[in-house]
Structure 1
Amino acid sequence: MAHNGRVTSVTLTLEGERLPGRSCGAAPGFPGYDGIHVGVQRRAKPGELLGLTPGDARRATWTLECAAGPAPDGTTELTGRYVQGRPGDRFVYLSWGTVGEDGAFTMFRRAKLMLGAIAPAVLAAAVGSGRLTGRLGLTDAKGHPLCARVVPPAIRWTAG
């Protein structure tokens, strides 16, 4: 629960490692892409990305300012400019796309970081400290950009 049911500020840091590279070859169900980048998608503005990072970077780090407050069911949930979804089903989108020579980003897949999968004790500690960190690898088992629902153990959530 948030501090006595009040809304509390939480800085959410996402740390990505093992990026897939700027090019991924074609495979069944995956046409292959060049100029791959990843960023955090803003809520209701899919073309607005935070921290667009090349797919061959050593690491990718994004910092999101969030609010932690009571959800309708009495649990604590995070909201903010980059938090998507309805109450009880909040998530952050990592959008994968290509950046053309003109600088335009064209999305081809997304990873959905499920905030409801954060252990309640970790979220409570994060509300207390004001800091939450999610660490994850950004390449899937096929060597492609990570996509679909991302929950532990694929992401490690820690407080403080």
Structure 2
Amino acid sequence: MLIRVEGTDLPGRRCAGPAGSADYENIHVAVQRRERPAELLDPVAADAATAVWTLECTATVTPGAVDLKGRYVQGRPGERFIYLNWVAADPVGGGFTMFRRAKLWLNAVPDDVLTAAVQSGVLVGRLGLTDAKGHPTCASVRPPQITWSAATA
């Protein structure tokens, strides 16, 4: 099974830092690998028109539940999620410094949508990546902030 995360309305390559500190520059967003914050899947510059990530996962169907597992799926059964990490890219050293992240809760996917996605093979999450203050979307992300649907591969 696949999970496709589609982000729109990216905030741009610069973001104000906490009061009294420097701005974040050369911002990118990427999916974090499970238990490895430094391993990021396909970083996208935050001034791109869209950002799309496709994650492989397995779906285990049991009576009353579907459990998704995979390299980029975090958390325990019943509490699974995907991290989108906001990072400042170092133009000289090539590394990334994480300054914010969003937690896309998979337990917030409606049951009928998840069942349809298991059957079709693709779960799609669509969200805007800029918050009301013009900053990168962060914290817990659940509907209506994200829209989940089933699609075909």
Name the CA distance, whole Å, in 2 between partners of 1:128 and 1:81.
21
CA RMSD of aligned residues (A): 1.7
Q: Does 1:78 align with 2:68?
A: yes
Aligned residues: 150
**Retained in 2: the 8 A contact 1:68–1:78?**
yes
Task: Write out per-residue CA displacement over residues 131-157 of structure 1, whole angstroms, 9 at most, x where no aligned residue.
Answer: 110000000110001000000010000
SS of 1:127's equivalent in the other structure is helix
TM-score, with length taken from structure 1: 0.89
Structure 1: any 5+ residue segments left out of the alignment?
A: 1-9
Structure 2: any 5+ residue segments left out of the alignment?
A: none
Q: Does 1:133 align with 2:116?
A: no
- What is the Cα deviation at residue 74 of structure 1? 3.8
Q: Calculate percent identity across the aligned residue pairs.
A: 57
| Structure 2 counterpart of 1:33, from 24, 29, 54 | 24
Task: Write out per-residue CA displacement over residues 107-142 of structure 1, whole angstroms, 9 at most, x where no aligned residue.
Answer: 001100000000000000000000110000000110
**Retained in 2: the 8 A contact 1:132–1:159?**
yes
Structure 1 runs (4+) greater than 4 angstroms displaced: 26-31
**Retained in 2: the 8 A contact 1:93–1:113?**
yes
TM-score, with length taken from structure 2: 0.92
**Retained in 2: the 8 A contact 1:19–1:139?**
yes
- For residues 1-160 of structure 1, the aligned pairs below 5 Å read 10-26=1-17, 32-70=23-61, 74-101=64-91, 102-160=93-151
